[in-house]
Structure 1
Amino acid sequence: MNYLKLSLCVCLFITSFLSAQNKDITLEDIWKNGSFRTEYMDVLHSMSNGQQYSVLNFDRATRSTSVDIYDYKTLEKVKTLVSSSDLSALRYFSDYTFSSNEQKVLLATNETSIYRHSSLGNYYVYDVANGELNLITEDAIQEPTFSPDGTKVAFAKNNNLFVKDLQSNEIKQITFDGEKNKIINGITDWVYEEEFAFVRAFVWNTASTKIAFIKFDESEVPEFSMDVYGTALYPTQQVFKYPKAGEANSKVSLQLYDLVTGKLSGLPVSKNYEDFYIPRIKWTNNADILSAQFLNRHQNELDLWSIDTKNNSADLILEEKDKAYVDVTDNLTFLEDNSFIWTSEKDGFNHIYHYDRNGKLINQVTKGNWEVTDYYGYNEDKDIIYYQSVENGSVNRDVYAVKLNGRSKKRLSSKEGTNEAAFSADFSYFINTFSNASTPPEFTLNNSKSGAVIKNIKDNAAVSQNLTAYNLSEKEFSTLSVHGNDLNMWMIKPADFDKNKKYPLFMTQYSGPGSQQVANHWNSANDYWYQLLAQKGIVVVCIDARGTGFKGAEFKKVTQKELGKYEVEDQIQAAKTLGELSYIDDTRIGIWGWSYGGFMSSNCLFKGNDVFKMAIAVAPVTSWRFYDSIYTERYMTTPQENASGYDENSPINHVDKLKGDFLLIHGSADDNVHVQNTMRLAEALTQADKQFDMAIYPDKNHGIYGGNTRLHLFKKMTDFVIEKLID
């Protein structure tokens, strides 16, 4: 045997093995090759029998989609309910919705995005019993919704509402005054969709006999226009109504359509509101009683109304007030006796409350110096509420059960990190999604009484195995004392970290009111970018400053009327404190952020010009005068009332302080934070004779993605960080 040859082979094997364990992350891995893609359970729906669930599956071999039914106990597939491979009229579908009795399924296809939450599409109704497939209409429509009895579908088209009878196939138009940029029936306007996070503004009553909806009159709302460059010789324009801070909002009203009488009428409330929002409507268990939430323009007074649509009368059953603002949620739940469950921050932390049908408090269900972060539902048979909270530390999430009277609380999740639950219809099981900073998403079937794991469903072990080949660093969680507060922080150091060396520091943050970036969950795409920067020899840190969420109302609302003051002061001081560490080079500190985070990074570079060497701002707000009414006024009131709050903390007014290196990035078709923000900041910097770098991505929205865009964006940012902090 040739021992020299054997030794050489062994040496080559060991070398290749070691190099395989130390692969560096590339931008292509993150943004092009999908190297770190994790698996999820798409469009999970618990069947009404409580024993089965459905998911949307995609078959890569046949390029088809299907709705598949699984058994909770065995996790085995019971059957394929419907597959596009069996439907000649439908090549694929991208979403599905059941009727209440689960005998019909709405299948969505050809969906095209309008704004963040809204889309147009073609929709089919699939009959489970006979396998028939019927197109609702040839036209692209919005928000088709089954009536509770499953015999009709209501939908919106061209700002009007329609109802299709699935038995006769007759389509009836029920509003006629819808007009682009003027009147919208049953679909929210731009600012409601973005800031109240809903699109469908119409609801069926329980008897399938009435439809209540919100009508938007946006005639007086100022228009915003964006150039769309496209590929044609001449660009076009997108023109839409966008109320900026202090400008006119849509005038909203409650409307009712009675399918029995065919009558359309308004629904008044017995209080004169001058300028208000209707952020939520919901029918009670009584087919004649509608609930509606009215919110004043300052958003610090929310009224819950009970409206008798039969007698055309209304009772104010709950008033929620706050010195700053009241959060709007989807947690309102009516019980069988029409008492209701409500969440509120009125004791300083977000908790669950139980009120009788007239709005009298029965009891506060949860209490403590921690926050309820999600409400999962109420099991009337067991008299148990299920919820998620941060009782185990504000960076973690756990699933809990508690009696309606607040007793017998039980933690149902066991692993430390982020736990999210999807309960079966009868609350006998829940599918728990768990992850933490070192564990990719794991899906388990759990017993809802004990929380015990019954079976493992999916664990993303392939992702974990794949990552062993990469040169990754631990994400270290801690707190940093800044201005008398212990701020949550994570830090990523280079894998070959040497405490005797000096490293540049790169800070990432978002910092918006109620947000959270320091959370114990699995990686986002950006986390892999931070690992890449760590591989280049940079220490990366994220800090949640004052104004962020899940640490109580006082901590969150301290920034009221002063966005960009306290949270900027915290980030600057945090950078100074970290700069005092023996292994941080305080002459090479950078910061970046997107959207609100870009507003922050700009402010930090300008106001903290003796601390930060460089900053990147992507799609930043540069003056709150440019941003929408609902978001901005919630925290700042109007510019007419709070001019100093708007101007003293906006980057556009501090350009003269710039000393470091600044990269400014925006998408030209950003309907949310308009490119106007960047253009005005660029002009201010120019007139102040301040040099900066800038990139505009044509026809890209607030997310700046599509095709090669994200890869290009992150190459540009990576090069900038390395050039300014390392080279």
Structure 2
Amino acid sequence: MSESFPRLSARTRRFTLGVPRGFTISPDGGRVMFLRTGSGTDPVTCLWELDTETHVERLVVDPRALDADGDELPPEERARRERSREQAGGVVAYSTDAAVTTAVFALSGGLYVTDLASGRTRRLDVPGAVIDPRLSPDGRHVAYVSEGALRVQDLASGEDRALAAPESPTVTYGLAEFIASEELDRMRGHWWSPAGDALLVERVDEAPVQVWHIADPANPDRPAVAQRYPAAGTPNALTELFVLGLDGSRVAVPYDDEYLTTAAWDSHALSIVTMPRDQKTLRLFAVDPATGAATPVREETDPAWVDVVPGVPAHLDDGSLVWVAGAEGGSRLFVGDRAVTPPTLQVRAVLDVDHDSVLFSASGDPTEIQLWTWDGHSLLPVSTRSGVFSGRMAGGVGVLTEQSLDAEGVSTTVVRRDGMAIPIPSRAERPGLDLRVSLGRSGRRELATAVVLPTWYEPGSGRLPVLMDPYGGPHAQRVLNRRGGYLESQWFAEQGFAVVVADGRGTPGRGPAFERAVLNDLATPALEDQIDALQGVAEQYPDDLDLTRVAIRGWSFGGFLAALAVLRRPDVFHAAVAGAPVTDWRLYDTAYTERYLGHPTEQPDVYDKSSLFGDAAKLERPLLLIHGLADDNVVAAHTLRLSSALLAAGRQHSVLPLSGVTHMTPQEVVAENLLLLQVDFLKRSLG
């Protein structure tokens, strides 16, 4: 008997296990290092190498052979994986020297180094559990964080010393703070100099951050876990930067802004990018490592907020700055002072700079993410088919990953200098679902929309109940040309629903103006656009959708949107499943919330307008609230406080608390049964 989709989806971590990722190309293009689990149901990630001349794959590191207990992770590493949404175990991250001859990685708190040519791996002696080890470019030293200290070990001699030790229990050196890793896409807190003789190191002091407590009510004998959580309007962690030399020198790098968004250190410059708390200015500085003096290089401003784009700053071989900024209505790639992309092409990320060429991802159509290069003279498309692409580039060799509606899973190809393509096979499980997905535009704003119908449904044979399945919030997108994004939606469709997925204002891909339409109101535009999309789809399928039976489900921002829908528009939405919803934005973190709603003490009415509490008495439709009690991102207080408000108003609703579950819900049994319970609730609620 074949395994059910909910069980298989849970066991495969939503079909991500077995997919190659984490690519590093050697400078000569001869080898590609990557991560991959042994199969689509194997959660242990291994380190692999592909020889681009012989096309032969080689297993370099198998954690099972190292006799390490993959479940024994230090708390800081568990937190880092939660922030990065890492669902696998084993070697989930690694670092190499510039020549890609040596790799280091952490496993179960231990520190390991591998000679990539021989595959010989040894465990290094360290004084405590290891977080985020990074190899120096020359391969002589490894820097890592242990018990809050930034330490360096000489690989030849084994000498291990702390370059900076925490002065109090609230201080760490070398780690990104919560806000940086959760909201600014910066997962690291230390950077090697190109010469390997010094590091730029972030010092974080969480003393000003308020303490919250994450309890486990299912196990009352266990104490609550204290967590520093910077809720909107409250103090952030204090951050500082230092250049720490291996010779013991320490040079402060002062900056005035609230947020360090990124840093980079190459042969041309030590660069830092900072942003004030209101996020309306982005400042790029070049830093003198000897003195710490910072010289302004660029400054971007926006009356709403500035965007932090991955991959920049970077430099070409001649020192030209590679940068991304808004100009003429678009997010554009700049090389030097020149915009080299048109405003109609929305640049999403710079993926690599290889000598004088820039590899970047961008969208013309918001449902597509294509790859392009700028070679110093012209703009050239790398991907030529419809779909969602990403990649890496070094030594004239490229690694391309491709997803589309036309093919299952993720396809990975290495493209050599001579144009020869070498596949890196995926070992992911097949979902066993045939997709029936139509992408298009709907509603007055021509919103990107996917309509997912049951494969067994004959058009015009009877109206189907509708399930809206959005995320709907800023900084994330659901309607993309890739099969993996619709597997759960298709499974829901097979249960008898017409599923509609729509990206409204605030979601990326259509330019700054479309994204900034949610400024000072995270509720109204998002809800209006879901209704607009629903009505538009109903016009396109006049005989197939039953608008008297419309449900909505979502997680995180999507959970907020689902609850909002039945509270404010019960005339349109007849049932909702709200998973881990933000219910009051005063309870969510500083950087995300204040970017869109400002400071709560300065604009309390804006926060009230986007809160669900004031609408509690309006509930007249079935609402299921689901929340992990161990969630440290959207804490369970969101759901519990909304439930209290609903109870006080005498409004019937259901709450499903998940003991020991975080925001990711990685547990197999939980992930499987959540799908089944949602279907049961929706069918009963819609009749």
Q: Same fold (TM over 0.5)?
A: yes
Q: In terms of mean alpha carbon deviation, does 662-671 or 324-333 score higher? A: 324-333
Say if 2:425 is the partner of 1:458: yes
Q: Mind listing any 5+ residue stretches in structure 2 that lack a counterpart?
A: 71-88
User: Per-residue deviation at 1:32?
Assistant: 4.7
Distance in 1 of aligned mates of 2:305 and 2:14: 43
Letter in 1 for 2:409: P
Letter in 1 for 2:421: I
* Secondary structure of the corresponding residue to residue 558 of structure 1: helix
Matching residue of 2:187 = 199
Say if 2:499 is the partner of 1:529: no
Matching residue of 1:280 = 262
In the superposition, the TM-score normalised over structure 2's length comes to 0.89
Distance in 1 of aligned mates of 2:245 and 2:501: 53
- C-alpha distance after superposition, 1:522-558 (max 9, x if no partner): 224xx33322332232111111111111001001111
Identify the match of residue 144 of structure 2 among 127, 144, 155: 155
Structure 1 contact 62–85 (Cα < 8 Å) conserved: no
Identify the match of residue 658 of structure 1 among 616, 619, 628: 619
In structure 2, the CA distance between the partners of 1:93 and 1:490, relative to structure 1 (3 Å rule), is: closer
Structure 2 contact 6–671 (Cα < 8 Å) conserved: no
Distance in 2 of aligned mates of 1:133 and 1:453: 36
In structure 2, the CA distance between the partners of 1:104 and 1:638, relative to structure 1 (3 Å rule), is: same
- C-alpha distance after superposition, 1:212-246 (max 9, x if no partner): 21212221211111113575x61211112111111
List aligned pairs for 1:192-271, cutoff 5 A.
192-229=180-217, 234-260=221-247, 262-269=248-255
In structure 2, the CA distance between the partners of 1:45 and 1:308, relative to structure 1 (3 Å rule), is: closer
Identify the match of residue 426 of structure 1 among 395, 398, 403: 395
Letter in 2 for 1:94: V
In structure 2, the CA distance between the partners of 1:49 and 1:673, relative to structure 1 (3 Å rule), is: same
Say if 2:598 is the partner of 1:640: no
Letter in 2 for 1:426: G
User: Per-residue deviation at 1:669?
Assistant: 0.8
Distance in 2 of aligned mates of 1:63 and 1:617: 28
Distance in 2 of aligned mates of 1:315 and 1:34: 45
Structure 2 contact 519–596 (Cα < 8 Å) conserved: yes
- Calculate percent identity across the aligned residue pairs: 25
Identify the match of residue 488 of structure 1 among 431, 434, 448: 448
Q: In terms of mean alpha carbon deviation, does 561-570 or 89-98 score higher? A: 89-98
User: Per-residue deviation at 1:132?
Assistant: 6.3
Letter in 2 for 1:236: P
Matching residue of 2:299 = 319
Structure 2 contact 110–123 (Cα < 8 Å) conserved: no
Distance in 2 of aligned mates of 1:673 and 1:88: 36
Matching residue of 1:108 = 106
Structure 2 contact 19–428 (Cα < 8 Å) conserved: no
List aligned pairs for 1:15-26, cutoff 5 A.
26=5
Letter in 2 for 1:72: T
User: Per-residue deviation at 1:256?
Assistant: 2.1
Letter in 2 for 1:692: H
Identify the match of residue 378 of structure 1 among 353, 375, 392: 353
Distance in 1 of aligned mates of 2:605 and 2:526: 17
Letter in 1 for 2:402: F
Letter in 2 for 1:608: R
* Secondary structure of the corresponding residue to residue 43 of structure 1: strand
Structure 1 contact 334–340 (Cα < 8 Å) conserved: yes
Letter in 2 for 1:109: L
Distance in 1 of aligned mates of 2:637 and 2:68: 44
Distance in 2 of aligned mates of 1:160 and 1:650: 40
Structure 1 contact 622–678 (Cα < 8 Å) conserved: yes
In structure 2, the CA distance between the partners of 1:29 and 1:379, relative to structure 1 (3 Å rule), is: closer
Say if 2:31 is the partner of 1:31: no
- C-alpha distance after superposition, 1:415-443 (max 9, x if no partner): 212222233x212x323222212311353
User: Per-residue deviation at 1:386?
Assistant: 2.1
- C-alpha distance after superposition, 1:333-380 (max 9, x if no partner): 12334331001123321111022xxxxx2x111113121223232332
Distance in 1 of aligned mates of 2:64 and 2:280: 52
In structure 2, the CA distance between the partners of 1:89 and 1:412, relative to structure 1 (3 Å rule), is: closer
Q: In terms of mean alpha carbon deviation, does 488-497 or 631-640 score higher? A: 488-497
User: Per-residue deviation at 1:98?
Assistant: 2.1
- C-alpha distance after superposition, 1:63-97 (max 9, x if no partner): 997644322244223x5545567767899952443
Q: Mind listing any 5+ residue stretches in structure 1 that lack a counterpart?
A: 1-19, 111-120, 356-360
User: Per-residue deviation at 1:626?
Assistant: 0.6
List aligned pairs for 1:174-185, cutoff 5 A.
174-180=163-169, 182-185=170-173
* Secondary structure of the corresponding residue to residue 533 of structure 2: helix
* Secondary structure of the corresponding residue to residue 588 of structure 1: strand
Distance in 2 of aligned mates of 1:283 and 1:62: 37
Structure 2 contact 37–43 (Cα < 8 Å) conserved: yes
Q: In terms of mean alpha carbon deviation, does 619-628 or 569-578 score higher? A: 569-578
Structure 1 contact 476–490 (Cα < 8 Å) conserved: yes
User: Per-residue deviation at 1:403?
Assistant: 2.9
In structure 2, the CA distance between the partners of 1:90 and 1:167, relative to structure 1 (3 Å rule), is: farther
User: Per-residue deviation at 1:58?
Assistant: 5.2
Structure 1 contact 305–317 (Cα < 8 Å) conserved: yes
Matching residue of 2:79 = none
In structure 2, the CA distance between the partners of 1:499 and 1:562, relative to structure 1 (3 Å rule), is: same
* Secondary structure of the corresponding residue to residue 602 of structure 1: helix
Distance in 2 of aligned mates of 1:606 and 1:63: 40
User: Per-residue deviation at 1:128?
Assistant: 5.0
Matching residue of 1:300 = 280
Structure 2 contact 106–133 (Cα < 8 Å) conserved: no
Distance in 2 of aligned mates of 1:99 and 1:74: 23
In structure 2, the CA distance between the partners of 1:683 and 1:473, relative to structure 1 (3 Å rule), is: same
In the superposition, the TM-score normalised over structure 1's length comes to 0.85
Identify the match of residue 368 of structure 1 among 322, 343, 353: 343
Matching residue of 1:619 = 580
Matching residue of 2:91 = 94
Letter in 2 for 1:413: S
Structure 1 contact 572–604 (Cα < 8 Å) conserved: no
Identify the match of residue 32 of structure 2 among 49, 53, 66: 53
Structure 1 contact 371–550 (Cα < 8 Å) conserved: yes
List aligned pairs for 1:458-607, cutoff 5 A.
458=425, 463=430, 467=432, 472-482=434-444, 485-494=445-454, 495-524=456-485, 527-579=486-538, 581-607=542-568
Structure 2 contact 409–484 (Cα < 8 Å) conserved: no
Between structure 1 and structure 2, the one with the greater Rg is: 1
List aligned pairs for 1:160-179, cutoff 5 A.
160-179=149-168
* Secondary structure of the corresponding residue to residue 483 of structure 2: coil
Say if 2:385 is the partner of 1:412: no
Distance in 2 of aligned mates of 1:489 and 1:143: 39
Superposed CA RMSD in Å reads: 2.9
Structure 1 contact 572–608 (Cα < 8 Å) conserved: no
Q: In terms of mean alpha carbon deviation, does 189-198 or 695-704 score higher? A: 189-198
Distance in 1 of aligned mates of 2:14 and 2:556: 27
List aligned pairs for 1:324-403, cutoff 5 A.
324-329=304-309, 330-355=311-336, 361=337, 363-380=338-355, 383-391=356-364, 393-403=365-375
Distance in 1 of aligned mates of 2:11 and 2:196: 48
User: Per-residue deviation at 1:462?
Assistant: 8.0
* Secondary structure of the corresponding residue to residue 228 of structure 1: coil
In structure 2, the CA distance between the partners of 1:176 and 1:64, relative to structure 1 (3 Å rule), is: closer
Letter in 1 for 2:152: V
Structure 1 contact 433–441 (Cα < 8 Å) conserved: no
In structure 2, the CA distance between the partners of 1:675 and 1:70, relative to structure 1 (3 Å rule), is: same
User: Per-residue deviation at 1:134?
Assistant: 3.6
User: Per-residue deviation at 1:447?
Assistant: 4.5
Distance in 1 of aligned mates of 2:152 and 2:673: 46
User: Per-residue deviation at 1:477?
Assistant: 0.9
In structure 2, the CA distance between the partners of 1:129 and 1:280, relative to structure 1 (3 Å rule), is: same
In structure 2, the CA distance between the partners of 1:681 and 1:97, relative to structure 1 (3 Å rule), is: same
Structure 2 contact 578–625 (Cα < 8 Å) conserved: yes
